[in-house]
Amino acid sequence: MASTSSVTLSQALLSRAISSPASAQSSDHRPSLSTLSFPGFSGLKSSIARASSSRRRLPSRSNHKRQVRAAAVETIGTAAETSLVEKSVNTIRFLSIDAVEKANSGHPGLPMGCAPMGHILYDEVMRYNPKNPYWFNRDRFILSAGHGCMLQYALLHLAGYDSVLASFFHILSFLLKDLKSFRQWGSRTPGHPENFETPGVEVTTGPLGQGIANAVGLALAEKHLAARFNKPDNEIVDHYTYVILGDGCQMEGISNEACSLAGHWGLGKLIAFYDDNHISIDGDTEIAFTENVDTRFEGLGWHVIWVKNGNTGYDEIRAAIKEAKAVKDKPTLIKVTTTIGYGSPNKANSYSVHGSALGAKEVDATRKNLGWPYEPFHVPEDVKAHWSRHTPQGAALEGEWNAKFAEYQQKYKEEAAELKAIITGELPAGWEKALPTYTPESPADATRNLSQQNLNALVKVLPGLLGGSADLASSNMTLLKMYGDFQKDTPEERNVRFGVREHGMGAICNGIALHSPGFIPYCATFFVFTDYMRAAIRISALCEAGVIYVMTHDSIGLGEDGPTHQPIEHLASFRAMPNVLMLRPADGNETAGAYKVAVLNRKRPSILALSRQKLPQLPGTSIEGVEKGGYIVSDNSSGNNPNVILIGTGSELEIAAKAADELRKEGKTVRVVSFVSWELFDEQSDAYKESVLPSAVSARVSIEAGSTFGWAKIVGSKGKAIGIDRFGASAPAGKIYKEFGLTPEAVVAAAKELC
């Protein structure tokens, strides 16, 4: 029986999970968490055949298609008696077929081909508790080839993921009504897996390659926590990360970036299944993809196994998993040769089964071909009975771990408190007091340097903070000085060296953030190179991963490197992206405020745009002001009615302040507003927004070293936006600012035209 402290840990984690707006309805319907019981967990035993030690090679591409198709037809054309395993595998196939057919939309081919490996993973190998999808020490599964999501939905349904959440809080569960509502409004079975919609889905996948990169992040998190917290007498962190990826994931460059790092880091508990079916949307992959994936992954430092018969070779798959688990110092790629759309007599092994429903006639033909006499969405009773054991086994497994944690907590109080904070996401009391503060007398400094001061202050009080840079740590100023580098042999350290891999870096950080609520990963590069990682940042926003993106060299102020390195449109583009906080601090206090906001926002990513050039510590800036998004820095008017409002962000707030001084000398009443985050300002009350930007004052001038796109929303139709709507230039920062008209004189002139 779990101890009180262990139950509290489970309660805290579950409470955070159900508090998400995407996963909970009105709190009026929620019972007290103290009334819930939390099951435990025990070990599942896998009956896995002895692995073959021989190294196998691919047949030539020219005869691969013919060989696999012939084998499939021969196998399914026999009258051999169907075993329970085969019956279970076909249940997965037909749940997928029927859901896609009913929706007349989706991808049936992958689930039909990958059902055997999916069955073995969820039924024989993985450790999880379907009644608590957020149990910490569960094995993680990621479907990188997210278009085949009916495979995962069918597996979750069979495994019993109707969850505590669904039972108590009126949230739709994995009942057949969800499978029958695949891809429909309000369903828990969207067109690609979404972690914020579907309990049991770890990460949001769909853009190919993102999932395998997320899996690298999840495996990194496990290795890091195990190194920090495991003891010789209590291995409290011990779980695997499994992923299925396809040819499309292999083609996308992000997979190579992330898998290169996985090999370098020796992530031995990462096991990836490569669905080697040689079919993509346009046809046979031979038209564009003929590389030897085995050799590439061996070169990346992975252990590689080839399962020749992924359609019916259950023992081969079992043996491969056993072999993979025996390799402790490398991640493993299990290449599983399958037939896409296995069982369909006319569409198997063709692109036509990849991304569209089979059609009624072909569904009937497939039922006959696989000997499936059941109506749509039927789960045979013996299959139900077989899978039903996962509910009590999952409860036992979690219960066993809860007891283990209770023992750990008694022996290792300090470590247990840190681990608990990472598991639950509960921030230490008073953590924000560690943030440095500054006065106008403090020396001028680049906000990238001030950022490093904040990171090194926060890492002392936030046990889940870790991260690094894309080979620019000494320029982004992101090194945690009291820690070493996370490497294969030093995984307990907290500086992560990503190399020049921006896209993979962002996606890996998403995986870290989604591993446990208390992880606070950050990653860094030059702001302009967010172009290389925009897809990962978008997934951060979509899947509610609170990654902190530390983006330095935020404007033309970086100077001589020129227009290739000078961001122009980037601020506007991220302000347009939903669920992202775009922050551009002006000095030390605002940088500290930006970090406070970023740490508190665990369900949305934050982007901090930071300067290379030194900036003064301005009077009137504050941490509290940043939390409002936009706030008054200085004002010599009364009655909320200045002659003109000057609005700046980042390095241009200083320019606005200097212009205000000049205008005030001429008798003008001037309000200076720091607009560090549009998103945070939009979230304030109408009364507060009116107190900062009174509607009666139309004389408004904004200044920002970037695109003026969007500023009309702030300055109004009668205001003026000073910025840059062309690419930059190579020259010292001061010269560029002057040539582009980003000066106090330009602001003064614009203000005089308005008032």
Catalytically annotated residues: 502
- Would you say 207 is a known binding-site residue? yes
Q: Which two tokens stand for residue 1?
A: 């029986």
- Would you say 354 is a known binding-site residue? yes
From CA 39, how far away is CA 132, in angstroms rounded?
Answer: 8
181 phi and psi angles, rounded to 5 deg: -110, 25
Q: Which two tokens stand for residue 690?
A: 């009116």
From CA 634, how far away is CA 619, in angstroms rounded?
Answer: 8
- Would you say 515 is a known binding-site residue? no
- Would you say 46 is a known binding-site residue? no
- Would you say 146 is a known binding-site residue? no
- Would you say 565 is a known binding-site residue? yes
- Would you say 206 is a known binding-site residue? yes
Q: Is the CB of residue 361 less than 8 Å from the CB of residue 293?
A: no
- Would you say 710 is a known binding-site residue? no
Q: Which two tokens stand for residue 16?
A: 């955070």
- Would you say 686 is a known binding-site residue? no
- Would you say 611 is a known binding-site residue? no
Q: State the CB neighbour count (10 A cutoff) for residue 80.
A: 11
Q: Is the CB of residue 37 less than 8 Å from the CB of residue 447?
A: no
From CA 207, how far away is CA 320, in angstroms rounded?
Answer: 28
- Would you say 602 is a known binding-site residue? no
Write down the residue that tokens 């252990």 correspond to: 303
From CA 668, how far away is CA 691, in angstroms rounded?
Answer: 19
- Would you say 284 is a known binding-site residue? no
**Count of alpha carbons within 13 angstroms of residue 29, beta-carbon side:** 12
Residues near 630 by Cβ (< 8 Å), separated by ≥ 6? Answer: 647, 673, 674, 675, 676, 677, 678, 680, 681, 692, 693
637 phi and psi angles, rounded to 5 deg: -100, 175
| Amino acid identity at 373 | P
- Would you say 162 is a known binding-site residue? no
Q: Is the CB of residue 116 less than 8 Å from the CB of residue 317?
A: yes
Q: Which two tokens stand for residue 662?
A: 């000049």
- Would you say 147 is a known binding-site residue? yes
The rounded Cα 376 to chain-centroid distance in angstroms is: 35
- Would you say 296 is a known binding-site residue? no
- Would you say 612 is a known binding-site residue? yes
Beta bridge partners of 467: 495, 522
Helix (H/G/I), strand (E/B), else coil: 615:
strand
From CA 341, how far away is CA 189, in angstroms rounded?
Answer: 21
- Would you say 390 is a known binding-site residue? no
In SS3 terms, 250-268 reads as HHCHHHHHHHHHHHHHCCC
Cα–Cα distances in Å, from 748 out to 60, 179, 646, 652, 745? 72, 63, 9, 14, 5
From CA 609, how far away is CA 676, in angstroms rounded?
Answer: 10
Residues near 62 by Cβ (< 8 Å), separated by ≥ 6? Answer: 286
Beta bridge partners of 337: 276
Q: State the CB neighbour count (10 A cutoff) for residue 228.
A: 17
Beta strands 495-497 and 485-486, pairing class: parallel
Q: Point out the annotated binding site for Mg(2+).
A: 247, 277, 279
Q: Point out the annotated binding site for substrate.
A: 107, 354, 448, 475, 553, 561, 565, 612
Q: Point out the annotated binding site.
A: 107, 147, 206-208, 247-248, 277, 279, 354, 448, 475, 529, 553, 561, 565, 612
